[in-house]
Chains A and B, each alone.
Chain A
Amino acid sequence: MKITLTVNGRKENLEVEPSTTLLEALRMLGLYSVRKGCDTASCGVCTVLMDSKPILSCCSLAVQAQGHSITTVEGLEKDKDFEEIRKNLLLEGADQCGYCGPSLLLTVYSLKKRNIKSLQEIQKYLVGNLCRCTGYHSQLRAIKEFMEVGE
C-alpha cells in the first residue's frame, strides 16, 4: 500500500506492506542511522522520535506512523541541543563502535525537555539503550553535563 510519512520535516512517499516495520521503511529511505539490532524491543538501537518522543521503530509499523512527525539524527544536525550532546559525548570518548550512538543521542535529546533532576532518573530512562562497548560511565558523564544534573 502507498503511504506518506513525515520524516525530518519532509513528506516521503513509500510503497509498503501493512506489516512493514517503521525501521524497514526508514532504512528504505536511506536513513541508515536507524539501526537494526535485537528485533525484540530490547536493545534500543532502532530508536527514533515520534512526535518528539522516543519509540522503537523495530516494533512499530510504518502504516501506524502516518500523520505523525518522525525524527532521526539526520533531522537534528543543525539543532543546538543536539550539537551540544553530540559534542559532550565526543569529548568524553563515549562513543566507540558507534552502533548505539544515534539512538542514545535521540533518547537523551528527548529527555532534555523533561524535568530530570538526578542521575538515577537519567539511568532509569536510559535502560532501553544498550551499549556493548563503552561501559556507560563515559556516556553518563557526558549526559549529566548536558542535562545539568548532579549525583
Chain B
Amino acid sequence: MFKAVDYVRPKSIGEAHDLFVSNTNSQILGGGTYLYLSKRTIQLLIDLQETSLKYISQKDGKIRIGAMSTLSDVEESDIFKNAFNGLVKKVVSDIWSYQLRNAATVGGTVYSRLGFSEFLTLLAVLDVDVVFHNTGVISIKDFLKMPPLRDILKEIVITENDLKVSFQVFKRTHFDFPVLSLAVARCDDEFRIAVGSRPGCALLAKDTPKLLSEGCRDLKTVCDSLIREIPFADDLRASSEYRRHVCGVLFKRALSEVL
C-alpha cells in the first residue's frame, strides 16, 4: 500500500494544476481505486472531487465526460443508452464489479492508460479528444502514443457519428480483467482497430486497417497482418502466444459484425 504525506482538495483545476506541477512527488487522486496497489511514498495527494469535473453532457453531436465522472455515471447515463447503439454503456457495465465502477473515474482510467481497461480499447477506435488543462486538446490516437503528461485531464469528448463499431473481449471469468480486448470501427472504407490487455495499453493498428481499406477481405491475410503488427507479452493471465491466438479469433468475430 502507498503512503501519502499530505492531502489537499483544491476548488479549481487551475489551483490543482499549480500544486501538481510545483510538487514533483504529487499525485492526482481520481477514484483512487488503483492507487492502493502502489507501494510509493507520495508527498501530496491532490483530490479533484471539488473541481466540478463530474458531468456528462451532450450538445451539437458531442458527448463530454468530465474526468471525475465514475464508470457508473457513464453506465447509468441516459445519453449512453442510445449513443453508439448502447455499446459504450454495455462495455462499461461489464467492467469488474458494481462497487468498483461506483468509485473508479473516467479520468483515472484514461490518464493512467490502464492496460487492462476495456473502456480505453473502445475509446481508441471512436472519435475521441482528450482535453488537458494546460496542453489543451489531443486526439486519443496521439494521446495513446505520448509519454505521460504532467498535466490535469479535464474531460474526454466523444464525437457522435455513424461509425459501425464492434467490441470483443475475452476473460477467463466475467469477474476478471480481460485476457484480451479488441475493437474495430468502420466508416465506409476507413477502418480502425485497437487491441488492449496485450497486456499493455490499447494500441491502434496501422497496417491492417490499410489492408482492409484497400479492399482485402481474405480473413487469414488480415488476421495474420494484425497478429504480426501488434506486440503481445506474457503475464499471469496468458502467454503472448495465447493472446496472439485469441486476437485472431476476436478479430474475425469483430469483422463479421462490421463488414
Q: How far is the CA of A127 from the CA of B99 in the complex (A)?
A: 10
| Nearest CB in chain A: distance from B157 CB, A | 26
**In the docked arrangement, what's the CA distance between A48 and B129, Å?**
35
A102 within 8 A of B: no
Query: Which residue in chain A gives the minimum CB-CB distance to B98?
Result: A125
Residue of B nearest to A66 (CB): B9
A69 to B31, CA, bound (A): 16
Q: Are A127 and B97 interface neighbours, CB within 8 A?
A: yes
User: How far is A19 from B29 in the complex, measured between Cα atoms in Å?
Assistant: 11
User: A47 at the A/B interface (Cβ < 8 Å)?
Assistant: yes
Q: B63 at interface (Cβ–Cβ under 8 A)?
A: no
Chain A contacts of B36 at CB under 8 A?
A: 21, 39, 41, 58-59
Q: Which of B180-203 contact A (CB under 8 A)?
A: none
Given A17-B4, A19-B1, A64-B47, the answer on whether A56 and B33 have CB atoms closer than 8 Å is yes
Q: Does B11 contact A (CB under 8 A)?
A: no
Contact B174 A127 (CB under 8 A): yes
A97 located at the interface, meaning its Cβ lies under 8 Å from any Cβ of chain B in the complex? no
A54 adjacent to B32 (CB under 8 Å): no
Q: Are A107 and B98 in contact (CB under 8 A)?
A: yes
**Smallest CB gap from B45: residue in A:** A18
Chain B, residue nearest A3 (CB): B7
Given contacts A18-B45, A21-B36, contact A56 B3 (CB under 8 A): no
Contacts of A63 in B (CB 8 A): 7, 45, 47
User: In the complex, what residues of A have CB within 8 A of residue B97's CB?
Assistant: 41, 44, 56, 127-129
Q: How far is the CA of A50 from the CA of B103 in the complex (A)?
A: 9
**With a CB–CB cut-off of 8 A, which chain A residues contact B33?**
41, 56, 59-60
How close is B76's CB to chain A, nearest CB, in angstroms?
9
> Is A144 interfacial (CB-CB < 8 Å)?
no
B259 within 8 A of A: no
Q: Chain B nearest CB: distance from A81 CB in Å?
A: 18
**Which chain B positions have C-beta within 8 A of A41?**
33, 36, 96-97, 99-100
**Residues from chain B with Cβ under 8 Å of A107 in the complex:** 98-99
With contact pairs A60-B32, A64-B32 given, residues A18 and B99 touching in the complex (Cβ less than 8 Å): no
Contacts of A50 in B (CB 8 A): 102-103
| B146 close to chain A: CB less than 8 A | no
* A19-B1, A21-B36 known; A56-B98 Cβ under 8 A: no
Within 8 A of B (CB), among A1-36: 1, 17-19, 21
Determine if B162 is an interface residue (Cβ-Cβ < 8 Å). Answer: no
Residue-wise interface mask of A (90-115) relative to B, using a CB-CB cutoff of 8 A (1 in contact, 0 not): 00000000000000000100000000
Closest residue on chain A to residue B49 by CB atoms? A64
Q: Could you tell me the distance between the alpha carbons of A55 and B93 in the complex, rounded to whole angstroms?
A: 15
CB–CB B99/A128 < 8 A: yes
B2 touches A55 (CB 8 A): no
Taking Cβ atoms with an 8 Å cutoff, the residues of A that contact B are 1, 17-19, 21, 39-41, 44, 47, 50, 53-56, 58-61, 63-64, 107, 124-129
Report, nearest first, the 9 A-B pairs whose CB atoms are least far apart. A128-B97, A18-B7, A18-B4, A127-B175, A19-B4, A53-B102, A59-B36, A125-B98, A56-B99
**Told that A41-B97, A53-B102 touch, could you supply 4 new A-B pairs with CB distance under 8 A?**
A17-B4, A19-B2, A41-B99, A59-B34
